[in-house]
């Protein structure tokens, strides 16, 4: 795992967008794992800008989202399909048929989960998985006690997650209490992970995720087991990390990061 600390939310998100662009240019048919949430909105607006002004093309990319609420149709403005269309897919040159999210309206949820895993496999696996972190330490919707080897399945959301995401719903009573999510094992199978977390509200959970013991109580700690995981945070989300100077030293000295110094 590597941790990169940037001075502002803008700079941290910019770095994440540049990493994604580099991977997409190196492999135009990249299989990109995508996340939702407020943190990702700025990231997607930057990718849209790169598409419009820097020639970043999505025309051969395939995407798989981490999760979807159970019971919300795609046209519901609170569904993650709606979010993705609105923030990214409708704004870039991606073939919408190459964008995948679990179907939260499926009659047979278990079958839908198995099909989703199968689709990922048939696309050759996820090359680059983008992740945010929830306050419960979830990645996707892998709430506490999610097995490290779990695959795509339905999960009940914790009260903390419901509280965190409720502001996106007009009425908390309308917020689904369950979701389909890729498993921790599904995420760990990706070839590369980028975690983006910004703002002081994420400082405690980032410190636990990066420097705490690996535990299924905090799914994000499983990323310590991933062979190539880059955590990008702004100064505010980094405040509770004990090894900030060490992370900065790595960023300044590893050849891979030289081109990102400006
Ligand atoms: C939701 C998503 C997660 C995301 C999290 C963070 O719960 N299921 O994938 O990481 O939100 O959200 P935010 O960026 O709004 O803090």
Model pLDDT for residues 136-181, shown as the tens digit of each residue: 999 999 999 999 999 999 999 999 999 989 988 988 888 999 999 9
**How far, in Å, CA of 34 to CA of 70, rounded?**
18
Q: Which of 187, 191, 218 is nearest to 205 (CA)?
A: 218
Residue 19 pLDDT > 80: yes
Query: The whole model's pTM is what?
Result: 0.97
Q: Is 10 helix (H, G, I), strand (E, B) or coil?
A: helix
- The pairing of strands 31-34 and 62-65 is parallel
- How far away, in angstroms, is 96 Cα from ligand 1 center? 23
Residue nearest to atom 13 of ligand 1 (CA): 37
Angle between helices 38-54 and 9-26 (to 10 degrees): 50
Q: What is the DSSP string of 39-68?
A: HHHHHHHHHHHHHHHH----TT-EEEESEE
Determine the average pLDDT of the residues in 25-39. 98
Check residue 171 and give its pLDDT: 85
Check residue 170 and give its pLDDT: 85
**How far, in Å, CA of 211 to CA of 217, rounded?**
14
Which residues lie with the beta carbon below 6 Å from any ligand 1 atom? 35-39, 66-67, 132-134, 140-141, 161, 165
Q: Which atom of ligand 1 is nearest to the CA of 131?
A: 10
Q: Which of 36, 65, 200 to mutate to test the pocket of ligand 1 (most atoms within 8 A of CB)?
A: 36
**How far, in Å, CA of 134 to CA of 160, rounded?**
9
Residue 80 pLDDT > 80: yes
- How far away, in angstroms, is 255 Cα from ligand 1 center? 31
- How far away, in angstroms, is 174 Cα from ligand 1 center? 18
**How far, in Å, CA of 152 to CA of 182, rounded?**
4
Q: Which of 94, 99, 93, 139 is nearest to 116 (CA)?
A: 99
pLDDT in tens, 222-254: 999 999 999 999 999 999 999 999 999 999 999
**How far, in Å, CA of 166 to CA of 182, rounded?**
21
Q: Which of 25, 72, 256, 262 is nearest to 168 (CA)?
A: 72
**How far, in Å, CA of 122 to CA of 188, rounded?**
17
Determine the average pLDDT of the residues in 91-113. 98
């Amino acid at each position: 795992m590597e941790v990169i600390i940037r001075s502002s939310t803008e700079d941290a998100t910019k770095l994440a967008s540049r990493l994604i662009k580099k991977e997409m240019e190196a492999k135009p048919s990249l299989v990109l794992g995508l996340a939702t949430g407020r943190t990702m909105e700025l990231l997607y607006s930057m990718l849209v800008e790169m598409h419009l002004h820097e020639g970043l093309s999505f025309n051969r990319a395939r995407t798989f989202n981490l999760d979807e609420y159970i019971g919300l149709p795609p046209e519901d403005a609170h569904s993650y399909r709606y979010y993705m269309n609105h923030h990214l897919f409708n704004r870039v040159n991606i073939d919408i048929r190459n964008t995948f999210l679990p179907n939260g309206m499926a009659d047979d949820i278990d079958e839908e989960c198995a099909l989703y895993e199968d689709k990922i496999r048939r696309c050759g696996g996820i090359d680059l998985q983008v992740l945010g972190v929830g306050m419960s330490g979830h990645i996707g919707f892998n709430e506490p006690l999610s097995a490290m080897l779990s695959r795509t399945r339905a999960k009940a959301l914790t009260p903390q997650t419901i509280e965190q995401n409720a502001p996106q719903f007009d009425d908390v009573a309308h917020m689904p209490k369950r979701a389909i999510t890729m498993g921790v094992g599904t995420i760990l199978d990706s070839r590369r992970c980028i975690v983006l977390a910004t703002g002081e509200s994420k400082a405690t959970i980032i410190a636990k995720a990066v420097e705490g013991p690996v535990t299924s109580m905090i799914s994000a700690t499983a990323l310590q087991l991933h062979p190539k995981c880059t955590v990008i945070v702004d100064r505010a989300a980094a405040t509770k990390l004990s090894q900030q100077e060490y992370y900065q030293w790595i960023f300044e000295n590893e050849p891979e990061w030289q081109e990102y110094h400006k």
